[in-house]
Amino acid sequence: MSTETILPQAATLTAKDFATDQEVRWCPGCGDYSILAQVQKVMPTIGVAKENIVIISGIGCSSRFPYYMNTYGMHSIHGRATAIASGLKAARPELSVWIVAGDGDALSIGGNHTIHMLRRNFDVNFLVFNNQIYGLTKGQYSPTSELNKITKSTPMGSIDHPFNPAALALGADASFIGRSMDRDPKHLQTMITRAQQHKGSSFLEIYQNCNIFNDGAFEIFTEKASKPLHALFVEQGKPLTFGANNEMGIRFDGLRPEVVTICEKYSADDLWIHDEKDFYKAQVLVRLFDNPSEVAAYFPRPFGVFYTADRPCYEDMMALQVEEAMTSKGMGDLDKLIRGKETWEIL
C-alpha cells in the first residue's frame, strides 16, 4: 500500500466566495460597484487562498472596500494605507497584499507615503480610484481635479495644477504603471490580473465616476459614441491605433508624437509600437494629454499597461540582509550592531 499522503484539493472559488454579508453602501450608480465586482471576479483566478489575501484601505468612499471583500483586511487611516501595507508585506511577505485608495487619499495627504512605497518596490498591488473629486466629504476639489474646477471649496474655480497620477508613479520609479476605467469591465479585469502577476509595486489608476459630485468626468472615454476616438488602448508589441475602425494612429515625428490617418502615406508599420519596457517612451505616453500645445486636444487618452520593469523587491532584499546579519561573524550581536563603528576608547 502506498504511504503517500493525498491532500484534499482546494475548493474551486467563485466571485461569490469573495463577497461578504455586509450591505454595500455606496451611492446608487457609483463606479465603485463595478470595481468591486471586477476584483471579486479576478480573485478566484489568481491562485491565492482567501486567507492569504489582505486588502488595506485608507479613508474615503473607496476605503469601504475591505468590508465588502471576504478576505482579511484593514480600514486604516487617511493617507497611510501604503505605509501600513509596506509594514505588513515586510513582516509577512508570503501574503498577497492589495491597497485601495482614492485620488485624494493616495495623492494628497498620502502622497509622500505613495512615492516612497513605489520607489522601495514592495510586492503589493495599489488600486487608485481616481474620480477627480473628494466624494466622501461632499465634493471638494482633489489633487487630480482639472484647472478651473468649480466645487464647494473652489467656487471661483481651482487654480491648482493637477497631478497626473501615472506620471507621478513613473517619476517615483514604480515598476508597474497602468490605467483602466470602471465602465470597461473586461479591460479592468485584465488590468487587475496584470497588476497581480507583476512582481513588485503595481500602480493601477482606475477612472471611477462619482455620479453625485463629479458625474461624467470621464464620459468621453466611456461612452460608445466618443470612446473610439478618445480612448487609446495600448497592447504590448502592437501599434498605437484608435478610431472606430482603427483608422487613426500615433507615430513619432522626430522626438514628438503626432496623430496620423492610416492611408497610403502612413501604414501600421510607420506607427509607434508599444513596448512596456521602454522607459523613455513611457514618459511620453503617460503625458500625451498633458501636452500644452494646441494639438493636445487631438491626442486620445491611453489605457493599458504603460510601463513594467524587473527590479528587486524591498521585502526580499530585507530578508537577505537579515539572514546575512544572523549568519555573519559578529553581525548577530545586537549590541555591536547598535554601537556600529562610531565608538572610541579614552585613555
Q: Work out the number of other CB atoms within 10 angstroms of the CB of residue 73.
A: 19
Closest CA to 233 of 218, 217, 216, 250: 250
Computed on alpha carbons and rounded to an integer, the radius of gyration of the chain in Å comes to 23
Question: Does residue 39 lie in a domain region?
Answer: yes
Average pLDDT over every residue of 22-37: 97
pLDDT at residue 332, as a whole number: 67
- Which residue's C-alpha cell is 470602471? 182
Question: Does residue 3 lie in a domain region?
Answer: no
Dig out the grid coordinates for 83 from the structure. 505605509
304: left (phi over 0), alpha (psi -120 to 50) or beta: left
Dig out the grid coordinates for 21 from the structure. 454579508
Give the CATH number for residue 211: 3.40.50.970
8 contacts: CB under 8 Å, gap ≥ 6? none
Question: Does residue 168 lie in a domain region?
Answer: yes
Question: Does residue 144 lie in a domain region?
Answer: yes
Question: Does residue 46 lie in a domain region?
Answer: yes
Closest CA to 240 of 283, 285, 175, 280: 285
Q: How many domains does the chain have?
A: 1
Whether 54 has a pLDDT exceeding 50, the answer reads: yes
Domain range for 59: 15-222
Question: Does residue 149 lie in a domain region?
Answer: yes
Task: Report yes or no: 184 and 158 within 8 Å, Cβ to Cβ.
Answer: no
Question: Does residue 249 lie in a domain region?
Answer: no
Task: Report yes or no: 305 and 234 within 8 Å, Cβ to Cβ.
Answer: yes
Per-residue pLDDT tens over the stretch 176-203: 999 999 999 999 999 999 999 999 999 9
Question: Does residue 302 lie in a domain region?
Answer: no
Per-residue pLDDT tens over the stretch 158-183: 999 999 999 999 999 999 999 999 99
Write phi, then psi, for 191 (nearest 5 degrees): -70, -35
Per-residue pLDDT tens over the stretch 240-257: 999 999 999 999 999 999
pLDDT at residue 72, as a whole number: 98
Task: Report yes or no: 186 and 173 within 8 Å, Cβ to Cβ.
Answer: no
